[in-house]
Structures are given as structure tokens and as C-alpha cells.
Structure 1
Amino acid sequence: MGGKILQLFTIGFTKKAREFFGLLSDSGATALVDIRLRNRSQLAGFAKRDDLEFFLSEICDMHYRQELLLTPTEQALRDYQRGAVSWEQYAAE
């Protein structure tokens, strides 16, 4: 990766938007890569795909990118949510 450090974090949806975008702004990151399977869900709140892309640009001067190659399959997510596989197995898949 050319000497650059890549850090991965989860968004969650229970945090307040002000705190979330403040942390992103202070991070020094230039982009956010969204790998969520359900990034348009009502449950995503302020982090719905289109809203997130807008807020990142306007508030944080960051780029947004959705990367489907890193998105879990529906089956893998279901298996993890019902406890059929461990986090390690889910992450590996």
C-alpha cells in the first residue's frame, strides 16, 4: 500500500452524528469505504449511504466509496447474527 496505514473501524448507529463526524474530521482520513450490506436501511439513521456521502463531503471534506467486494453475503451475516458462526469465521468469510 505504498507505506500508508489503513485503519478499519465500524460505524455503528447509536452514536450521535456530531460526535461521529467530529471524530472523522479529526482523524486525518481522506476517504471512508463503506462495506455494509444494508447501508440504505432506515436503521442506519444519519449513516444511510446517500446521507453519509453528503455529510462526509460537506462536513469532513472526505470521499465516500462503497466497496461491494468487501461486503459480507446475506447468508454469512445471517449465520453470524444467529450465532451459527463465530466472529472469526464471519470475518474470514
Structure 2
Amino acid sequence: MKTIVISILVLSLFILALAFGSQNQQLIEINYFVATDEFNLSSLLALTFLGGFICSWVIAFLIVIRLKLKLKFVTNKLEKLHAAEISEQA
């Protein structure tokens, strides 16, 4: 439920940013190493926000996966120690 609320909040902020950005149709020239191109300021801001959002979700996903694997490893180790302790008592 918390994830849904946060996703709706971020989506609403993205739509709000698009609404504000749509009022500014100024063209911006972007210089790459080998070429140049012109973009609308609003679309460039939207793409930058979306790119940052996707990068943060990927990083968060990788951190969560790493922690889950570590938790599984520690849980298995604890179960083995617990089983060894029980067999020693018997």
C-alpha cells in the first residue's frame, strides 16, 4: 500500500512538472561531443526527471536484492547453528 501511495505521489509530481513545463516552449541547444541538437525545455526537463527516477529505482532495487540475499544467507547459517546445538544436546 505504501508503494502505491508513493508511486501516485511521484506520478502526480511528474504530471505537475509537465504542466508547468508545457508553459515554457523555449528551445535549448544541446552540444554533444560529435553533434548538436535542439530540444524544448519542457521535454528536456521531463526526460531528465524520468531518467533520474528510473536510475534511483534501479539502484534501490539492487540494494534491496543484496539485503535480501544477505538475510537469506544469515538465516540459513542461524538454522544450521541451531540444528547443531540441538544435536549436541541430544
Q: Structure 1-normalised TM-score?
A: 0.26
Q: Which has the higher contact order (CA 8 A, sep 6+)?
A: 1
User: Is the radius of gyration larger for structure 1 or structure 2?
Assistant: 2
Higher share in helix: 2
Task: State the TM-score, normalized to the length of structure 2.
Answer: 0.27
